[in-house]
Amino acid sequence: MVYRNRKKDDGCCSLTFLRYVLFVFNIMFWITGVAFLSVGVWTMMVKHKYVSLLGNSTYPATTILFIVTGVFIILVGALGCLGALRNIRCCLVMYAFLLLMIFLLEAIAGVLAYMYEGSIKEELTRNLNKTIIENYNFDSTISDAVDNLQKQFHCCGAESYRDWRWSRWLKLDQITKNKAPDSCCISPAEKCAVSISASNIYHTGCSPQLERFIKRHLIVIGGIGLGLCCIQVFGIIFACCLARKIKEITESY
C-alpha cells in the first residue's frame, strides 16, 4: 500500500522512519537468532557428552530451548520484515505478539540456566557417585561418559579413586583384577589400574571438575538468555508504533 500524502508523515514518528527502524531491529534480531541457534547446537554437539551423568534433564532441556528459540527468531524476523515492507498491520501485530513469546522463552532459558547453575554441586554430589557405582560397564553410554570424563579432567571416581572399590563392576570383575578403570591411569593402557599408586593413577575425584565445567557453560547460557531477551522489548515497541501509524494513515483516507 502506497500513501501519497506525506504532510502528516514527517519526523521521528513517520511511517518511513518506523519502517527503517524496524528493518534495522530485524537485522539485530536475526543476529540474536543465529547466536541462540549456534550456542544451542554447539552445546548439543560438544558439551552433551556428560549429560548421562547428571541426575535430571534441566541441562539438555535448556539447550533444546535455545535451539527452538533460535529457529523461531529467524522465522518471526521474516514476518516482521513482510509486515514493514508491505505495511500489513495484522502481520505487525502478530509479530509483536510473537516477540513477546520469544522474550518469555529467552527469559525462561536464562533463568533455568542460572537456577541449575546454583544446584549443580548438590546434584553431582548426590548422583555422580551412585551413577558410577551402579552403571559403569553395564551402560555403554555412561561408561563412555565416565571414561571420557576421567581422561579429559585427569581424575578418578566421583570424590576420589577410592569410590571405585564399591562399584558393581569391580565386584564382578574377576579377570583384570583392576582397582579402577583403565581411564583412571595417568598413561592409559590395558590393566594399567591393577596398582593404585600415586604415580600410576589420578587420585583426585571428578565431581569438582565436572561441576566447574558445567557451571561455566551454564553462566554463558544464562547470560545470553537474559541479556538478549531485553532486545525483544524494543522490537515490540517499534512494531506496535508502526502498526498504529499504519492504522492512523489508513483511517485518514
7 belongs to a structural domain: no
The residue range of the domain holding 144 is 15-251
Would residue 223 count as lying in a domain?
Answer: yes
Residue 188 included in any domain: yes
Number of domains in the chain: 1
Residue 98 lies inside a defined structural domain of this protein:
yes
Question: Does the residue 4 lie in any domain?
Answer: no
* Cα gap 75→80, rounded to integer Å: 9
Decide if 3 is inside a domain.
no
117 occurs within a structural domain: yes
Q: With pLDDT > 70 as the criterion, what percentage of the chain qualifies? A: 92
Q: What is the pLDDT of residues 43-100, one digit of tens each?
A: 888 767 788 888 777 788 888 888 888 899 888 988 888 888 888 889 989 999 999 9
Distance CA(234)–CA(58), nearest Å, equals 30
Beta strands in the chain (DSSP E): none
Query: Cα separations (Å) of 134 from 125, 137, 169, 205?
Result: 15, 9, 8, 17
**pLDDT recorded at residue 216:** 86
**In which element (H, E) is residue 37 found?**
helix 15-42
At 115-162, the pLDDT tens digits run 888 788 888 877 888 888 899 989 998 999 999 999 999 999 999 988
Q: Is the pLDDT assigned to residue 9 strictly greater than 80? A: no
pLDDT tens-digit readout, 35-57: 888 888 888 887 677 888 887 77
pLDDT at 7: 46
Helix 207-228, helix 15-42: angle, nearest 10 = 170
Least confident of 6-15, 37-46, 147-156, 192-201: 6-15
For residue 175, the model assigns a pLDDT of: 65
Query: Which is more confident, 142 or 196?
Result: 142
Between the two ends of the chain, the Cα-to-Cα distance in Å is 12
In a domain, 196, yes or no: yes
